[in-house]
Amino acid sequence: MGNVLNRIRQSIVFRIGVLMLLTVVVAIGSMVASYVISDAAENDAAAVNLSGSLRAMTYKSVATASSGDRLATQNLAEQISARLDHIAAISEFSPADHQPEAQNFREVSREWQQHILPLLTSVASGESRISEGELLSTAESFVDRVDTLVLDYQHTAEHKVELLRLVQLGSLFATVILVYFSLFSLSRSVEQPLRKLIASCRDIARGNFRQKLDLHGEDELGLLAQTINRMCEVIDGTHRELETRVRDKTAQLHKSHEVLDFQYRLARRISEGPLNGLEIDQWLAEFSELTELHDLDLCLMTPEGMTPYQHLTHGAGNNACQENNCNSCAHASGPREVAGQQIYRFPLEADKRNYGVLVCTLPQGQLLQREQQQRLSAFADAVTTAITLKERSEQDRRVALMDERGIIARELHDSLAQSLSYLKIQVARLARCSRSDALDRDQVVEITSELKQGLNASYRQLRELLTTFRLQIAEGGLRAILEKSVFQYREQHPEITIGLVYDLEEIPLTPNEEIHLLQLVREASQNAVYHSWGDHISIHLTQGEGQEIRVSICDNGVGISESPEKRNHFGMSIMQERASNLGGGLDIRRRESGGTEVSFVFVPEYARERQLLWNNAAGGGG
């Protein structure tokens, strides 16, 4: 019984099934009871009818017996006995039945068999002589008992009808009660919980996972509600955790964006030019605030030095730091615990040269995160790059200064030095003339005239050298400055026709290549102007085969001498050096049609890089 009650409490289906089963049982019970009662009452009407007919037949048999009609009396007696037997048969009374109708029937049957039937038979046969009034009085007593029997059968039939009515009313009431409880159970256990479940599902579909179903039953819907509540709790917890993680990731991305922006600005500033100590200090302070690392030391050292020439500190810095013999600190890396502090060192190293160290100090027990270490390492690399670029820039300026000084020396040697040597010879001649006893005025005038011409030539060469040394590649590029130079030559030497063909618009040239090409063309053009004795000069800059650049300067003058080792007049050594700097080949030869041709062929840097990439790709693919 306890299991059934538990199942009724825990299962809606079982509960509804029990209610339906009870309804069916009540309906079947009502039908069975009605059938049994109606079956039991089937012979009650016949029993009443037969019992009622005994009265008339009794009176009739009294009349026939009193008239002496023995045969008619015998027939009526047999009919009465037969009807009593029929009543006994349909009533099915047992000898032990104590119901009133059974007792009355037994008394009626006994009185008939023992008194009335023998009396009627003896009267009809004439054996007994009693008056008709006495016989009628005896018959009336028997009829009274028969009337009581009829009333008993009537009451029995009425009781059965009343019982049938009560059974039907009871079954109807029970059915109504069961239907009501079924509907109430469906409404309370199914309809209302389903309505709450549907409302909850709609809220969940809208993304509300914080609502809670107030269903505490132990049935299927209660279990479903508990499951939905747990699911909502899990999803809401996961949702909140994801929101927290998204906020954290957003903050990290924002921080990473700020760091990337800082690194970009720092890289752009480094590309613009060298950083001084004040700027590095400002970048260090910004980096410290950005990464929330408040104790930083940046020691800048020369590669040969043992102590920093500049020590930049942000925050408290490294309290254990002593600026004496910092070489071991500059070359150390990784975390180390010193004087109750956690010390992280990031050396500033490039090309096996050390330029200092970046030190981050943390309290004891606190460690740098991997991302913070990467940011510190990137900042140290940026500072190293800035120092390296500054050092290389200074080295490049020194090399450029030495190259420029060499060029100036060669130019002075090829122009002013020779002119001054010539003037020195003329001054020596003038001195000898002045020391002689007989002064030759014509010779003095000749020498003076030559000195004047030499001075004018030296002054002209000086102006041209100044123009050359002040030459710069400004806006417009190589073509514009070449056209300007050709225009100047035409103004200075109107007797010479100078042509320029420039077909390198589609080729990207580096500043170094433009400077060397400009100087090479100017030197070859100058040689043609001053030493070829021709009246036509053509300058061609074109693209050759295999992405080569061809440069040629041709004149129609006297041509190069047979002794090319004497190259000062044409600046051959200078042009050879420029050609080697560009990795090309220089050729100076006499033209068959007359004059000299200076040709130069080289592959520009962009083409060499492209060819290198192709070779690497082909090697990697093989």
At residue 215, does pLDDT exceed 90? Answer: no
DSSP assignment of 460-516 equals: HHHHHHHHHHT----TTHHHHHHHHHHHHHHHH-TTSEEEEEE--TTS---HHHHHH
The per-residue pLDDT for range 524-542, each reduced to its tens digit, is 888 888 778 888 999 999 9
Please choose, from the candidates 126, 154, 139, the residue with its C-alpha nearest in 3D space to the C-alpha of residue 62: 139
pLDDT at 191: 80
The per-residue pLDDT for range 274-327, each reduced to its tens digit, is 777 788 888 888 888 888 888 888 888 877 767 777 788 777 666 556 555 565
Give percent above pLDDT 90 in the chain: 3
The per-residue pLDDT for range 336-356, each reduced to its tens digit, is 777 667 888 888 888 778 888
Write down the CATH number for the domain with range 2-194. 1.20.120
β 497-502/353-363 pair status:
unpaired
CATH topology (fold) of 257-387:
Beta-Lactamase (3.30.450)
At residue 569, does pLDDT exceed 60? Answer: no
At residue 137, does pLDDT exceed 60? Answer: yes
Query: How far is residue 387's CA from residue 305's CA, in Å, rounded to a whole number?
Result: 15
pLDDT at 570: 40
- Domain ranges (residues) in the chain: 2-194, 257-387, 474-622
At residue 621, does pLDDT exceed 70? Answer: no
pLDDT at 538: 93
At residue 566, does pLDDT exceed 60? Answer: no
Mean pLDDT (the chain) is 78
3-state secondary structure 408-435: HHHHHHHHHHHHHHHHHHHHHHHHHHHH
pLDDT at 540: 92
CATH topology (fold) of 474-622:
Heat Shock Protein 90 (3.30.565)
Please choose, from the candidates 271, 198, 263, the residue with its C-alpha nearest in 3D space to the C-alpha of residue 228: 198
pLDDT at 188: 78
> Which of the four pLDDT bands, split at 50, 70 and 90, describes residue 152?
confident
Query: 93-103: buried (b, 16+ CB within 10 Å) or exposed (e) per residue?
Result: beeeeeeebbe
Mean pLDDT to the nearest integer, 439-447? 74
The per-residue pLDDT for range 243-258, each reduced to its tens digit, is 899 998 898 888 888 8
Give percent above pLDDT 70 in the chain: 85
pLDDT at 551: 92
Q: Where is average pLDDT lowest: 409-413, 509-513, 594-598?
A: 409-413
Q: Which two tokens stand for residue 269?
A: 């500033």
Please choose, from the candidates 269, 309, 310, the residue with its C-alpha nearest in 3D space to the C-alpha of residue 286: 269
